[in-house]
Chains A and B, each alone.
Chain A
Amino acid sequence: MKLNYLLLTGIAVAALTRSLLAAETIRYEAATTGSEMKLDGKATGKTWHCIGKIIGGSFEVEPAWQKDPSLKSVTCLGKGKTPPKCELFIPIRSLKSQAIAGASTMDKRMQLEMKADKFARIEYRLTELAIKGEVPASGSPVTFDATGELAISGVTNKVSFPITMERVGADTLKWTGKYETKMTAFGIKPPEFKLLGIGLETADEVTLAWTWMMGVKAPEAK
């Protein structure tokens, strides 16, 4: 009898905890349109560009994020605090070279160098988020210092960069940011290749610039 009582209590507490936790976060999911990841680099003095239109992932945060545009009541921001749960990914094959000649060659080469067959996605996980500067009265845009883990080609590095959030309507967020890094930091050898018979040497430096659109996930239909 006592055992049954304890078991039922345990189940009730677990269910309550789960429902409370569920109520404590809202989940934004990556929008299917409007996002863009742009990679810029140089090859023998000329610039090259790669663009991907798929940025998947989600952002889970306490409801105050949506209800309080000043973000003053949001407790997960700042150094040493557990940040919103944010995970992002970009399929490497979705990144397309914008060259007018030899684009498919460059894409294939990039996929080879990034070991896309083994590590099909660029992945990012947020580990810390702190407001940078003042939050405007309108609540948008807001700049943050973001720290997280960026995994490319099987190498994970701790990275930090400023990002800006804009509120687009009540339920949509637009994140923009830019990060300069080096291919070799992720174990990628800057490729050398030929286009139209001309040898091109790719520089190590590469800039990632992105726009990530997300919307509040609508409740599942029952």
Chain B
Amino acid sequence: MTNSEYNRRDFLKGTSSFAAMMAIMGAVPIRAADDAKDDIAAKTAEDPLNFGVIGCGVWGREIIKTLSARPNAPVVGVCDTYKPFLNRIKDAAPKAEQYTEYQKLLENKNVQGVVIATPSHLHKDIVIAALKAGKHVYCEAPMATTLEDARAMAQAAKASPKLNFQVGLLPRADKQMTYLLNFVRTGVLGKFVKVRAQSHKKQSWRRASPNPEREKEINWRLDKNLSLGLLGEIGIHQMDMACWYLMGRPLAVSGYGGLVQWTDDGREVPDTVQAVFEFPNNVVFNQEITLANSFDSDYDIFYGSDSAIMIRDRKAWMFKESDSQLLGWEVYARKETFYKESGIVLGADATKLTPSKPAEPKPGETASTTPAPVVEETALSLSLRAFLTNTLGTINGVQEFIDSFGDKDQKALVEYLAGLAKMRQPAASWKDGYESAVIAMKANEAVTKKQRIVFSKEWFEIA
């Protein structure tokens, strides 16, 4: 898609009156629709899916912990080449078989889906072997660090339509972001003007290690030959979200940056970067990431001619222009002040008429007037949940088809699964993962070479 201008009428035609009503009422449904605590949901619990996790570093352990919290996501196999990492997950996955070679884990017939959380440059061989072994694959983002690797993985995923393949681009599986996207597509921003995203931290990004050999291995992100740097490893999520919301790919990217803060530890990857992406219709997406200053942390802002929407910590606010049309519901919406601006809270329950319920008093305590703390499911948990649901949907879909018609007509089976894919839980597909990886690679290259790179259509072609 080359034109990111959105046609509001097309959107409204494609949504139900219910959703439109929700949007108009101002109960912008950025909260997850499926309430996991629903008692009926408990009675209709999903089947289990046996997981294998390859790569048990910091993020891999977070994944194992998140899976272990789900009732139907047993981790039955874990793999890492570094044995101390395997020892650290014995509590979170006590029944998991432990492996130091991923090939052995993939031979385990009990493993149905694998999560690949190794360093990004090692994804390719594991992903292709996993698909070959008939495993459903969740691959962390970025999918790969070279165009050749990403393309080979995308080709393998495309050639395995009976297997679910998801890339860990978290906002894609976050229902809050999906609902917010639907709200944006009602045309509430007016004409898209620009997008800005930042991720500010004061941290070295260097991980502690027991010896120099391990130090090099564990700090692969700081090696310019192995890593896509800040834009690829941190910025890819915001980058993908901008493309998703703008409904298109950038035409060109210019990169700036270098080592500003962490200049004396021998690293090669810049600690402060800026990428300026040019989109159709003169819309510019400006992305800034630094490890040298934490001010204002992380956020995305979508600017339109009628209003701007800011997203931070998975919450959103709308800032209206004084000359924009009155929608009506915003009169009743809760507002929060940001310096001199008043932000309309975008969220279900955001109306002033429905205050949050106070917390239930403990025995012996008097009733509290403090609102109940909201324990929200993390973006990672939502992403893994989408993988779980979609994988089970794929497995059931294959089974239903074969039980009904046998397995001779593979073309029809693939067509059937493609139909089911339209009803999947929102999540990043191999195509989303591939495109975001390509964009991140070129953005990183633009920073490294300090130049403007025009995106070639061929880079996005799989075959």
Contact = CB atoms under 8 A, between A and B. Distances in A.
A33 B412 CA distance: 6
Interface stretch (A123-131, A155-163, A194-202, A204-212): A194-202
B219 interface: no
A115 B348 CA distance: 33
A103 B32 CA distance: 12
A105 B400 contact: no
Nearest to B389: A104
A105 to B, nearest CB: 5
A54 B16 contact: no
B181 to A, nearest CB: 12
A93 interface: yes
Contacts of B44: 108-109, 111-112
Contacts of A96: 420, 423
Contacts, number: 83
Contact of B405 (A30, A103, A108): A30
A197 B356 CA distance: 13
A139 B400 CA distance: 34
A111 B15 CA distance: 25
Given A32-B405, A108-B41, A91 B29 contact: no
Contacts of A193: 38, 40
A137 interface: no
A101 B29 contact: yes
Contacts of B349: 197
Given A30-B404, A32-B412, A112-B44, A104 B35 contact: no
A58 to B, nearest CB: 11
A100 B15 contact: yes
A101 B33 contact: yes
B396 interface: yes
B22 A196 contact: yes
B404 A33 contact: no
Nearest to B44: A108
A101 B401 contact: no
B362 interface: no
Interface residues of A, number: 31
A89 B405 CA distance: 11
Contact of B348 (A94, A99, A102, A197): A197
Nearest to B15: A100
A94 B400 contact: yes
Contacts of A101: 18-19, 29, 33, 179
Interface string B408-450: 0100110110011001010000000000000000000000000
B17 interface: yes
Contacts of B18: 46, 100-101
B278 to A, nearest CB: 32
A54 B416 contact: yes
B194 interface: no
Nearest to A57: B404
A27 interface: no
Chain B interface, >50% SS class: helix
Contacts of B29: 101, 196
B405 A56 contact: yes
B43 interface: yes
Interface string A176-218: 0000000000000001011111000000000000000000000
B376 interface: no
A53 B34 contact: no
Contacts of B15: 100
Nearest to B31: A196
Contact of B400 (A91, A102, A196): A91
B365 to A, nearest CB: 27
B27 interface: yes
Interface string B8-40: 000000011111001000010101011100101
A104 B382 CA distance: 14
Interface string A35-67: 000000000001000000110100000000000
A200 B388 CA distance: 27
Contact of B413 (A32, A98, A105, A196): A32
Nearest to A200: B18
A7 B22 CA distance: 78
25 contacts: A30-B404, A32-B412, A32-B413, A33-B415, A54-B405, A56-B404, A56-B405, A91-B400, A94-B404, A96-B423, A100-B18, A101-B29, A102-B33, A105-B33, A105-B34, A105-B35, A105-B40, A108-B46, A109-B40, A112-B40, A191-B40, A193-B40, A196-B27, A196-B348, A197-B35
Given A32-B401, A54-B404, A193-B38, 8 more contacts: A54-B401, A96-B420, A101-B29, A102-B33, A105-B33, A111-B44, A112-B40, A194-B35
Interface of B: 15-19, 22, 27, 29, 31, 33-35, 38, 40-41, 43-44, 46, 179, 348-349, 389, 396-397, 400-401, 403-405, 409, 412-413, 415-416, 419-420, 423, 425
Nearest first, the 5 closest Cβ-Cβ pairs linking A and B are A32-B412, A108-B44, A56-B404, A101-B33, A102-B33
